Amino acid sequence: MSDLTHLKNELAGCMICADRFAATATAHRPNPVVWFQQGARLLIASQAPGMKVHKANTPFWDASGKRLRDWLGVDEATFYDRSRVAIVPMAFCFPGYNAAGSDLPPPKVCAATWRQPILGALEGVELTVLIGGYAQKWHLGTKTGVTETVAGWRDHAPKLFPLPHPSWRNTAWLKRNPWFEAELLPVLRARVKEVLDG
């Protein structure tokens, strides 16, 4: 059994956060959304599943996924083709809601336990998109906020592209930062096509 297959099997049964999740309002059980395999050339370093993804067991199974596919310039079939696209979030399970009804942050223990081994075993990744502040801080070691980090995308391209989260909550951010769609996205789409076409 390969290292990556072994890791996937271990991850699928992970219960590290069982007590933490049981104490949230939804009192849910861990359900790691495992979506990667050897051969993927595009890595999506995302944040954590939301409730819809938790239930569907499929990453970005919500409006965020539609927007992200538009940003990347890929259709649904390509996006969900694990032989081409790996989706490795900062936490593999839905973290629960806070008192305001927003998603809790990804539990740090998840990245501390799983991220390095999985990324180390995943060979052949040529392009990584970093979605949101947690992934950007982990991969880039930045201390800046998302806007500043994304605005500095040219410092990391063509191997890494920091992006805001494609959530509807960031629609106002997109309006305030028109350079994102006008300048970053055309370069990102061209790079994604180049990487996926091999």
Cβ at position 123, least distance to ligand SF4 in Å: 22
Residue of 32, 133, 164, 166 interacting with ligand SF4 (CB under 6 A): 32
Who's near 163: CB < 8 A, 6+ residues apart?
71, 129, 130, 131, 132, 150, 184, 188
- The contact pattern for ligand SF4, residues 87-116, with x = CB under 6 A and - = no contact, is ----xxx-------------x-xx--x---
On whether the CB atoms of residues 118 and 11 are closer than 8 A, the answer is yes
Element (H, E) at 130: strand 127-131
Of the candidates 65, 66, 63, 67, the one whose C-alpha atom is nearest the C-alpha of residue 35 is 65
Site for ligand SF4 in 62-91 (CB under 6 A): 91
Site for ligand SF4 in 142-181 (CB under 6 A): none
Name residue 18's amino acid. A
Q: 110 or 196: whose CB is closer to ligand SF4?
A: 110
Q: Point out which residues bind ligand SF4 (CB under 6 A).
A: 11, 14-17, 30, 32, 91-93, 107, 109-110, 113
